[in-house]
Each structure stands twice: as C-alpha cells, then as structure tokens.
Amino acid sequence: MVLIANYYGMIFFVDHSVGRTRSSLEDAGLADHTMVIFTSDHGEWLGDHGLLLKGPMLFDGLLRVGMFMCGPGISGGVVVDSPVLLVDVAETVYDYCGIDDTLESHGVSLLNSIRDRGPVRNYVLNEWDVRETPFFGTALNLRTARTSRYRLTAELIIGGGELYDLHDDPHEEINRYDDAGYAGVRRELEDMSAKPGRTLLADTRR
C-alpha cells in the first residue's frame, strides 16, 4: 500500500507541475500561441490482478495511458475513443505546425480526431519479445491487438492467449480467448496482430 500511495503522490506532483507550466504560459501571454501535449510511456499495475510494477502481462493498466492536448484551434472537452499510439505525437505536431514531414513514420496525425472528425485508427499493436533470462525466467513472444472495445494477446512460442471484452469487462477479469461466442472476434484480432505491416488507418475523409 505504501508503494501505491507513493505512486499517487508522484501523480499529484506531476499534475501540479503541469498546472504550474500552464499558469506560467498564461502569465507570459504565450498560452494562446502554444500547443501543450501531456502523455506517458506506460502505466503501472498498482495491484491490478494482484500485480505491481510492470512486465509482460499486457493489461490495460500498462497499455492505456492518458494523453491530453490543448492549444489554439483545439476545442476543450473532446474525447477521442479510438486507440492511438505515442508515435502519433510527432506527426500531430508536424501537422499542427504545417510542417511537411518527409521521414517515413508509423505515426498518424491525430488532428482529425481532436477536431471530432472520426477515428484515425481501427486498432493498435503492442509487442513483448524477450529471451529466457534469470530475471524473466522464461522466453515470451507476445503480440497484442487493441481496438476500442477488445484486447487480444497471443503468446507465439507455446500458444494460448487472452481476449477481453473491455465494454462488458473493463477490468479484464473474464478471459474470452477460448469462448466460442467470441470466436469471430478472436480471429479478427489474431489477423490484426499477425500482420504488423498492414495499414492501421481508418478512412477519416469527409
């Protein structure tokens, strides 16, 4: 419990620091000319599923982190429900600033979603591939596909996996991987996770 309390304290400190940054921008008259993006690289279990810290079990507590954006032309209160990736941040900044990005990237600008014009992705992928070591104990090769409703993780070395319906089971407590009623969903997400080179873009044109 002390670990959890300390973590919440760190979150409070970061939240307070972000507020100070915003206040400083306003005091300097720069808030109306500055885009602010706040996000994180990963979450923590903090007791979820009886676990602490982080590791290969790719629950939403690790994968789903906050991302907040504000600035000129970005309306407040818009919530993007479709999955996004951290690599989208750079493309979003390029797009926002009107910079032509000539570098090859897996990122996608999020401005369409921020401006409430629909999702930019149908799903996102996560991977965990580690060899057997004294620290991890066993080799694992995990592939995860996450849509706005479902998350599937398949283990490619020994087989098996997890499938959760995040709409009906937001805490990921009921594994539907071998549930016949979810066979179609499982096949769809397995196809997504097996083809990382396939396009992840949804049609957002108006």
CB 10 within 8 A of CB 44: no
CB 45 within 8 A of CB 53: yes
Section 65-92 average pLDDT = 87
Section 177-206 average pLDDT = 72
The pLDDT of residue 194 is above 50: yes
The pLDDT of residue 132 is above 80: no
Determine if residue 151 is left, alpha or beta; phi over 0 gives left, psi from -120 to 50 gives alpha, anything else beta.
beta
Lowest mean pLDDT of 27-31, 41-45, 99-103, 167-171, name the range: 99-103
- Residue-level pLDDT at 195: 61
Q: Cα–Cα distance between 85 and 124 in angstroms, integer?
A: 7
Give the β-pairing of 68-70 and 124-130: unpaired
Mention every residue, 6+ apart, whose C-beta is less than 8 A from residue 146: 63, 83, 123, 124, 125, 126, 152
For the chain, give every domain's residue range.
Answer: 35-194
Backbone angles phi, psi at 164, to 5 degrees: -125, 140
